[in-house]
Amino acid sequence: MSETKTNEAWMERAQRVLPGGVNSPVRAFRAVGGVPVFVERAEGAYLHGVDGRRYIDYVGSWGPMILGHAAPAVVRAVQDAMTRGSSYGAPTAVEVELAELVTKLVPSVEMLRMTSSGTEAVMGALRVARGFTGRDLVVKFEGCYHGGADYLLVQAGSGLATFGVPTSAGVPAAIGGTTLVLPFNDLEAAKQLFAARGKEIAALILEPVVGNMGVVPPEPGFLEGLRALTAEHGALLVFDEVMTGFRVALGGAQARFGITPDLSCFGKIVGGGLPVGVYGGRREIMQKVAPLGPVYQAGTLSGNPLAVAAGRATLEALTAPGVYETLEARSAQLEAGLREASRKASVPVTIQRVGSMITPFFGPGPIRTWTDADRVDRKAFGRWHAAMLREGVHWPPAQFEAGFVSLAHTEEICATTIAAAQKAFAEA
Ligand code: KE4
């Protein structure tokens, strides 16, 4: 066991060898300040830090841990799979069984391909959309995040529906020239864009419930409008359900809102905390994917047997009766408690929630678009986050993220969280 004991000491060591001391930027706590908790182990709703403290966890690995950490069924499945070897680079029965399960739970997915991350799933979906339609342009929405593909790391340009302006260094301006960016929840803007350029557009991609602005639900009619608009212009509707898939309903946001996309992307829960991404949809589209068709996409660890074992065990657990009713009850309890706590502390907070994804926005609502979200008080959120951490609650370390409730978050754990929040709002 290393002699390093504190989060600060580990962060000092980590920063010598990892950019910012982390393997993914948001983990560094730069949006909220302070030093991240270095996790030693986790189980159920709890993280145990190297600092010897126990925290109620609402990051949940940013979505995958819907059963709670180290769920026994998942642990057993992965341990068992490991005794048979970790990776073969050859087809296996288990990946077929996981694929069959996903097609059963999400009927719009008739055929799918597995990857090792949500980013790769989105890249695969948009490449096959371009290959299927023979068109180049992709449309996304401001505030929606779809992983790290160059042409998706873009924000809206100066005007409405303009070509994407790269948000990351290292992305050539020209790369943004195939991505058009619209305001979320603005069907009118989408209609104008399609009227002008519909026949050049291969796909429109969105988070059907945005988690990456913080939780922003679709306005009534928005998803239906996009479905009709893309169909009218021969563009594909792509639901990025990496976060919402198996989260906001067993069949994802498409089941919750009754919309059938042409392609869907999954990640997070479908891997049960191990690296699995999935893209899939209409058979005639997916038959374009190599080796069947001309759209190339591959991956050494795609369909990895350990990851597939974790994903299958997780999805199977989610098919049990009452799971989503329990998640809804606990999440509603937390929402009501946070709302009441912020009111008592006279702190202007807008709580937005869909299922077990929840965000306290520190400002007036409703938050319908990125412009709305961008106005909230990030510093107040940062003070609240630090106070919650002191109270033993590990909330996502950024205002524009979703908190996640798991099946391990009992009524009592939610009540403890609310009590912590009451104190934290007083310090926000
Ligand atoms: P990954 O490549 O990180 O597996 O998935 C990318 C992705 C795609 N689509 C949506 C809707 C997503 O939310 C994500 C990843 N989500 C972030 C959380 N906001 C992952 C956390 C991180 O980047 O460390």
Per-residue pLDDT tens over the stretch 192-243: 999 999 999 999 999 999 999 999 999 999 999 999 999 999 999 999 999 9
Give the residue, out of 24, 119, 210, with the most ligand 1 atoms within 8 A of its beta carbon, to mutate for a pocket test. 119
Dump pLDDT digits (tens) for 249-281: 999 999 999 999 999 999 999 999 999 999 999
Dump pLDDT digits (tens) for 131-188. Answer: 999 999 999 999 999 999 999 999 877 766 677 888 999 999 898 889 999 999 999 9
Burial 313-347 (b: 16+ CB within 10 A, else e): bbbbbbeeeeebebbeebbbbbbebbbebbeebeb
pLDDT tens digits for 371-384? 999 999 999 999 99
Nearest residue (CA) to ligand 1, atom 20: 62
Please compute the mean of the pLDDT values over residues 20-39 and round it to a whole number: 97
Give the position, in ligand 1's atom list, of the atom nearest the Cα of 207.
11
Q: How many angstroms does the Cα of residue 39 sit away from the middle of ligand 1? A: 20
Q: What is the mean pLDDT of residues 76-96?
A: 98
Residue 4 has pLDDT above 90, yes or no: no
Atom of ligand 1 nearest to the CA of 147: 6
Ligand 1 centroid to 340 CA: how many Å? 30
| Mutate-to-test residue for ligand 1 from 22, 65, 145, highest number of ligand atoms within 8 A of CB | 145
pLDDT band at 5 (very low <50, low <70, confident <90, very high): confident
Is 2 close to ligand 1, i.e. is its CB under 6 Å away? no
| Whether the CB of 400 sits within 6 Å of ligand 1 | no
Asked if residue 397 has its Cβ within 6 Å of ligand 1, the reply is no
Asked whether 133 lines ligand 1 (CB < 6 A), one says: no
The yes-or-no verdict on residue 22 having pLDDT over 80 is yes
Query: What is the 194 CA–ligand 1 centroid distance (Å)?
Result: 28
Q: Decide if pLDDT at 127 tops 60.
A: yes
What pLDDT was estimated at residue 159? Answer: 66
How many A from CA of 32 to the centre of ligand 1?
A: 19
**Which residues are designated catalytic?**
145, 240, 268
Q: Residue 3 — pLDDT band, cuts 50, 70, 90?
A: low
135 close to ligand 1 (CB < 6 Angstrom): no
Residue 27 CA to ligand 1 center (angstroms) comes to 12
pLDDT at residue 2 greater than cutoff 70: no
Q: What is the mean pLDDT of the chain?
A: 96
pLDDT by residue (tens digit) across 403-420?
999 999 999 999 999 999
Q: Given a cut of 60, is residue 31 above it in pLDDT?
A: yes
Ligand 1 atom with the smallest distance to the CA of 117 is 4
Q: Is residue 147 lining ligand 1, measured as CB closer than 6 Å?
A: yes
Q: How confident is the model at residue 117 (pLDDT cuts 50, 70, 90)?
A: very high
Nearest protein Cα to ligand 1, atom 5: 118
123 and 149 Cβ atoms separated by less than 8 Å: yes
| Ligand 1 binding pocket includes 122 (Cβ within 6 Å) | yes
What pLDDT score was predicted for residue 164? Answer: 83
pLDDT of residue 160: 63
**pLDDT value of position 23:** 98
pLDDT band at 426 (very low <50, low <70, confident <90, very high): very high
Q: Domains (ranges, CATH) in the chain? A: 72-318 (3.40.640.10), 322-405+419-428 (3.90.1150.10)
Ligand 1 mean position to 118 CA, how many Å? 6
In the chain, the percentage of residues whose pLDDT exceeds 70 is: 98
Asked if residue 31 has its Cβ within 6 Å of ligand 1, the reply is no
Q: Ligand 1 pocket, 264 CB below 6 A?
A: no
* Residue-level pLDDT at 157: 72
3-state secondary structure string across the chain:
CCCCCCHHHHHHHHHHHCHHHCCCHHHHCCCCCCCCCCEEEEEECEEEECCCCEEEECCHHHCCCCCCECCHHHHHHHHHHHCCCCCCCCCCHHHHHHHHHHHHHCCCCCEEEEECCHHHHHHHHHHHHHHHHCCCEEEEECCCCCCCCHHHCEECCCCCCEECEECCCCCCHHHHHHEEEECCCCHHHHHHHHHHHHHHEEEEEECCCECECECECCCCCHHHHHHHHHHHHCCEEEEECCCCCCCCCCCCHHHHHCCCCCEEEECHHHHCCCCCEEEEECHHHHCCECCCCCECCCCCCCCCHHHHHHHHHHHHHHCCCCHHHHHHHHHHHHHHHHHHHHHHCCCCCEEEEECCEEEEECCCCCCCCHHHHHCCCHHHHHHHHHHHHHCCEECCCCCCCCEECCCCCCHHHHHHHHHHHHHHHHCC
Report the pLDDT averaged over residues 333-356.
98
